[in-house]
Amino acid sequence: MATLAPAFSPKHMDYQRIFEEINEEIKNDAPCGEVASYIPELGRVDPNKFGVHLTTVNGEHYSFGDSDEKFSIQSIAKVLSLAMAYNMEGEALWERVGVEPSGTPFNSLVQLEYDMGIPRNPFSNAGALVIADILVSHLANPKEEFIRFVREVSGNNEIDYCTRIAESEKSMGYRNAALINLMKSFGNIKNDIDVVMDFYFNLCSIEMTCKELSRTFLFLATYGICPETKQTILSVSKAKRINAIMQLCGFYDEAGEFSFKVGLPGKSGVGGGIVAIYPNKYSIALWSPRLNKKGNSSKGIKFLELLTTKTQASIF
Ligand code: GLU
């Protein structure tokens, strides 16, 4: 029977060498896609930035490129707001939002009317607005308490919102306003629309480096327990379920394609970030602001596809 070559054995995985090898392969590719400009402040980001950071469950770190530069994590924060709301609301949460892939763009309105104001999943904008509404119901000071939770999970007290980006998104937030108004008309938003939207725009504005992001998401590779502090962030079952939703819904109408090419649960954001989880092995964050037509980082997906191909390791 064939045995695994040492470079492919999980114990001997030389991620640094693999990162360099992937970079050699893709560095001369023509730049693909555009930065998101519907949020004016995001349109000012240098499109050619590129960073990667992988944190293993054993605390090893591997990085490449602009991995220490902060960027706007945008929709990636929806995983953290879901984790917090799931802990507070328990299974009742699924009465207000589904767990099915939407097959539609992140800001789509079309399904919502057919579905009587119940979003297909918590990672579409509509779903994340419902999650934001749930947190506003539970928390006396949503912004303060949510960022405290994020700091706890990330083990980093410096993580913060970016008011400039939140205000910039608010100035152009017409589609999110349409989504939340439609859901309010169906009774699936309980709080004042402006309060929920303000909280939502702020949570999307959180900034992290690739290193901070991969460290923050490590708890989803370790069945809900923060490997450093041993603190339980989520139960094993809730961590499994959030990974499952990332697998099915983390990349909007490109979730199938991402599973097909990469084979890991993950979540993207329109700031060009991607986080992906290999349960029991690692959490990896990538940042490349040029987005493809589906709103996901082109180079980030390519890099991850090559990573799971070269390491011959994905969850499938
Ligand atoms: N704040 C963004 C929006 O609501 C998040 C979208 C994303 O990152 O996919 O449009």
- pLDDT, one tens digit per residue, over 24-66 is 999 999 999 999 999 999 999 999 999 999 999 999 999 999 9
Report CA 78 to chain centroid distance, whole Å: 6
**What pLDDT does residue 12 have?**
65
How many CB atoms are located within 10 Å of the residue 17 CB?
Answer: 12
Cα(300)–Cα(285) distance, integer angstroms = 9
Atom of ligand 1 nearest to the CA of 128: 4
Three-state secondary-structure class, residue 115: coil
Sheet holding 51-56, edge to edge: 61-65, 51-56, 282-287, 273-278, 266-268
The whole-angstrom separation of Cα 171 and Cα 212 is 28
Instruction: Give the residue, out of 80, 197, 204, with the most ligand 1 atoms within 8 A of its beta carbon, to mutate for a pocket test.
Output: 204
The 10s digit of each residue's pLDDT in 222-266 is 999 988 889 999 999 999 999 999 999 999 999 999 999 999 999
Rounded Cα–Cα distance for residues 295 and 293 (Å): 5
pLDDT at 104: 87
Provide the 3-class DSSP secondary structure of residue 231.
coil
Taking the centre of ligand 1 as the mean of its atom positions, its distance from the CA of residue 201, in whole angstroms, is 8
Give residue 227's pLDDT.
85
Q: Could you list the beta-strand ranges (E) of the chain.
A: 51-56, 61-65, 71-72, 207-208, 266-268, 273-278, 282-287
Question: Alpha-carbon torsion 61, 63, 69, 71, what sign?
Answer: negative
Quick one: how far is CA 280 from the chain centroid? 19
d(CA 226, ligand 1 centre) in Å: 27
Report how far ligand 1's centroid is from the alpha carbon of 290 (Å). 15
Other Cβ atoms closer than 10 A to 69: 15
* Terminal-residue alpha carbon distance, the chain: 21
> Mean pLDDT in each 10-residue stretch from start to end of the chain (316 residues)?
44 89 95 94 96 96 98 98 98 98 89 95 97 98 98 96 97 96 98 98 98 98 92 96 98 96 98 97 98 96 98 94
Closest ligand 1 atom number to CA of residue 106: 9
Kindly give the number of the ligand 1 atom that is closest to the alpha carbon of 252. Answer: 9
Residue-level pLDDT at 3: 43
Q: What is the 4 CA–ligand 1 centroid distance (Å)?
A: 41
How far, in Å, is the centroid of ligand 1 from the Cα of 274? 13
* Closest atom of ligand 1 to CA, residue 125: 4
Burial class (CB in 10 A: 0-12, 13-18, 19+), 181: exposed
Using the atom order of ligand 1, give the atom closest to the CA of residue 205: 1
Helix (H, G, I), strand (E, B) or coil at 198: helix
What is the distance between the alpha carbons of residues 33 and 295, in angstroms, rounded to a whole number? 9
Smallest CA-to-CA distance from 268 within 303, 297, 305, 233 is with 297
User: In this predicted structure, what is the pLDDT of residue 8?
Assistant: 46
Give the pLDDT confidence score for residue 66 in this predicted structure: 98
Distance 91 CA to ligand 1 centre (A): 25
Mutate which of 75, 202, 203 for ligand 1 pocket (most atoms within 8 A of beta carbon): 75
| Centre of ligand 1 from the C-alpha of residue 93, in Å | 21
CA of 311 to the centre of ligand 1 (A): 31
d(CA 190, CA 136): 9
- Ligand 1 atom nearest residue 74's Cα: 8
**76 contact partners, CB below 8 Å, separation of at least 6:** 213, 267, 268, 269, 273, 274, 275
pLDDT of residue 18: 97
Which residues surround ligand 1 with Cβ inside 6 Å? 74-75, 106-107, 125, 169, 176, 204, 269-270, 295
CB atoms within 10 A of CB 160: 16
Angle between the N-to-C axes of helices 174-185 and 193-204, in degrees from 0 to 180, rounded to the nearest 10:
130
Instruction: State residue 21's pLDDT score.
Output: 97
Supply 214's token pair: 């991969």
CA nearest ligand 1 atom 3, residue: 125
**pTM for the full predicted model:** 0.95
